[in-house]
Amino acid sequence: MRVLAFLDGTFADPDQAHIRVDDLGLVRGDGIFETILVTNGVPRELDAHLDRFARSAAKMDMAPPDREAWERVIRLVIDNWPTDVELALKIVLTRGIDGDPDERPTAFAYGTEIAESTKTARRDGIGVVTLNRGFEADLMERAPWLLLGAKTLSYSVNMAAQREARRRGAEDVIFTSTEGYVLEGPTSNVVVARGGTLYTPPPTNGILPGTTQGDVFRAAERAGWKTEVTQLKADELAAGDALMLASSVRKLTRVHTLDDVRLADDPAVAIHAELAKAYDAQYE
């Protein structure tokens, strides 16, 4: 099941072609997106997603997205989706057609079901490899043209890293900086639990501030955890009580194997279960 609607509220058949071959989003990855998880008809962290969408647009020198129009089309897709089926809702804004004098963006919302592989990962955990992302953790401020911290459509590198993980017998990746600091996954944020505190690296590392990570941290704090946004070295990943990846569609997923080394199930399985439950409980 899939639902497609353009920003003006027009529904379209997702099995038909709608994007022109000269759309800059298609030929250059020149655009931005967000993927929002909708459960029981509620979009999780909608404001945080729309805030990040606006920040990405600003970093890309694009006109600010029309927030009310996006909220309307998101609601439209949700209202045309069965409430009891989880929905992965992608919103996409490209720079539009190459050479268009009116510079009209291409803008749509597209809803799909959650892949079985994602549901399995949520339940059973995943194997992850660390890969060098090739930049220093403080590059973002020095080189804003690299668009670090913007959620652009240029995800080829992220997808290539995930293919490399599969070549190495794992499912996903944790990127590290050239100095060995932990960055993020190609589509997720890193969360380490250690001694009653949850840790995640800072967005100043040129990574996306995660909507799910933020939501999980707030739910965890209500359940008595401490939380800290701080620099982590790669060798701290396996030294905690639990290692997890957080992102909208996968929610909170446990890492059971890191760089071919199996991590202890105890207490990681119980910590993951507790946090995943606290996170979900807000939406039940």
Binding residues vs ligand PLP (CB under 6 A): 35, 184, 186-189, 208, 210-213, 246-248
- 12-23 exposure pattern, b = at least 16 Cβ within 10 A, e = fewer: eeeeeeeeeeeb
Nearer of residues 234 and 246 to ligand PLP, judged by Cβ = 246
Give the C-alpha separation, 113 to 148, whole Å: 29
Residue 231 Cβ vs ligand PLP, minimum distance, rounded to whole Å? 17
Closest alpha carbon to 191 in 260, 250, 131: 250
Residue 188 Cβ vs ligand PLP, minimum distance, rounded to whole Å? 5
Residue 8 Cβ vs ligand PLP, minimum distance, rounded to whole Å? 26
Residue 147 Cβ vs ligand PLP, minimum distance, rounded to whole Å? 12
Give the C-alpha separation, 235 to 37, whole Å: 32
Nearer of residues 70 and 97 to ligand PLP, judged by Cβ = 70
Nearer of residues 87 and 97 to ligand PLP, judged by Cβ = 87
Residue 246 Cβ vs ligand PLP, minimum distance, rounded to whole Å? 6
Alpha-carbon distance values, 65 to 53, 87, 214, 247 (Å): 8, 22, 23, 23
Nearer of residues 97 and 211 to ligand PLP, judged by Cβ = 211
Nearer of residues 154 and 197 to ligand PLP, judged by Cβ = 154
Q: Is 144 helix (H, G, I), strand (E, B) or coil?
A: helix
Give the C-alpha separation, 30 to 26, whole Å: 7
